[in-house]
Amino acid sequence: MKIKLWLTLLAAGLMALSIGGCSDDDDPPTDPGSTNMFAGYRDWTQVENTNAPSTLLGPAHNGNNGEFTRSIFTTVATMIETGEYDEGTIFVKETHTYDGDADHMFADPMGLLAMVKREPGFDDAGNDWEYFNLNPDDLSTIASGADLGACKGCHMQASGDDGEDFIFLHPMEFEPDPADFDDYATWNLIGTEQGPDALLGPAHEGNDADAVRRIYKKQLAANPDGLGDGYPTGTLVLKEVRSGAGDVIGMTGMAKRGGDFDTTNDNWEYFMWNPANGDLADRGAMAMCIGCHGAANTGTNGKDWVFAHEDDPFNN
C-alpha cells in the first residue's frame, strides 16, 4: 500500500508539473548560468541504460513503457553504498526513445531531469537535493526546486536495498520470468529467414533448407547504438524455428539482464524451450549460445551479441 500511495502521489505531481511547471518559493532555484552545470553530461559516468519495467516507477519516467529507455549519468565515479553524496554531485536522467525514422526523441514532458546536491540546509527534509526539469534543446531550466511534482516523495524510498541518500540503486538488474516471452507472437517481427546460414551451422536448424526462422523483438525502439552501451537492460529477443510443415521445432530467447549478471559477455541471458511440450529446458549464461553469438560482434554480422535482421531499425 505504501508504494502504491507514493506512485499515486507521484503521478499527480507529474501531471501538475506538466501543466504548469513549478518551483520552490522558499528556496530559489539554482541558476545553471550558461548551462555549464549540465553541459557535457553524456561524457560523465553512465550508471544506467534500461527499458526494463519498474514497479517503483509505475508510469513515472515511462517506467511501464518498454519503448522508452532511461539513461542516467553522474559526476561521481562510483555509486555510494552508505552515507551521503558530496555537495555538488549531479545526476541527469534521460527518458528517451526513437521514432519511425530512428531519430532520437526525448519523452514529453520531463524527458530530461536532474538532481543537484546543494549546500547543507538547502532542504533538510530532502537531504539537500534540488530537482531540475531541463529543456533538452539547450539544457536550460524549465523548473527547479526542492521538489518537482512528487520527486522528493518518490526519492525518499531510495534507501536500504533500493538505494542510498535519495538516489536509487544503479545499475539495475532485470531478472525476466520465462512467462515474459509468452506473448512473443505479438512482438515486432524483425526477421524471417529460410535456408542454410553459414553463421548458424546446425544451430537453429541452420542447415535445414525447409526450416523457417522468425525473430521477434519486444521493444522495437531498443537501440544498441543509442549511447554506445549496447542494447538497454530489459531488451527481449526470441527466435522461433518451424519445420517445412509448420510445426515449431525450436524456440530460444535472449534477455539483457544488466547489472553484474555476466559482465564478461555483456550481461545477456539465454533461454531454451522444449518444443515438444513448451516447457523451459534451460536458461542462463550458456557457453554454447555465447560461443555462437560472439560472431555477431564481428564486422556487419550484428551488434551487441545480436545478429543483424533486416527489419530491426538499428541492427540490419
Higher pLDDT, residue 189 or 26: 189
Per-residue pLDDT band for 2 (boundaries 50, 70, 90) equals very low
| Assigned C-alpha cell, 123 | 532542504
Distance CA(283)–CA(271), nearest Å, equals 4
Contact 222, 231 (CB under 8 A): yes
Residue 180: pLDDT over 70 = yes
Distance CA(22)–CA(19), nearest Å, equals 9
| Cα dist from 91 to 45, 54, 109, 180, whole Å | 10, 19, 18, 31
Give the CATH architecture of domain 2-168.
Answer: 3-Layer(bba) Sandwich (3.50)
Average pLDDT, stretch 136-151?
93
| pLDDT recorded at residue 17 | 42
Which of 13-17, 104-108, 131-135, 139-143 bottoms out in mean pLDDT, i.e. has the lowest? Answer: 13-17
Q: pLDDT tens digit string along 254-286?
A: 999 999 999 999 999 999 999 999 999 999 999
CA 45, distance to chain mean position in Å, is 16
Residue 44: pLDDT over 70 = yes
Label residues 156-189 b or e (16+ Cβ within 10 Å = b): eebeeeebbbbbbbbbbebebeeebbeebeebeb
| Cα dist from 44 to 72, 74, 167, whole Å | 9, 6, 17
CATH 3.50.70.20 region(s) of the chain?
Answer: 178-307
Residue 127: pLDDT over 80 = yes
pTM: 0.86
| pLDDT recorded at residue 57 | 82
Residue 225: pLDDT over 50 = yes
CATH domain 178-307 topology: Chalcone isomerase (3.50.70)
* 92 DSSP β-pair partners: 73, 114
Per-residue pLDDT band for 163 (boundaries 50, 70, 90) equals very high
Residue 253: pLDDT over 90 = yes
**Which one-letter DSSP state was computed for residue 120?**
T
3-class secondary-structure state, position 162:
helix
Sign of the CA dihedral with 204 first, then 206, 212, and 217 last:
positive
Distance CA(51)–CA(86), nearest Å, equals 29
Per-residue pLDDT band for 83 (boundaries 50, 70, 90) equals very high
Residue 244: pLDDT over 70 = yes
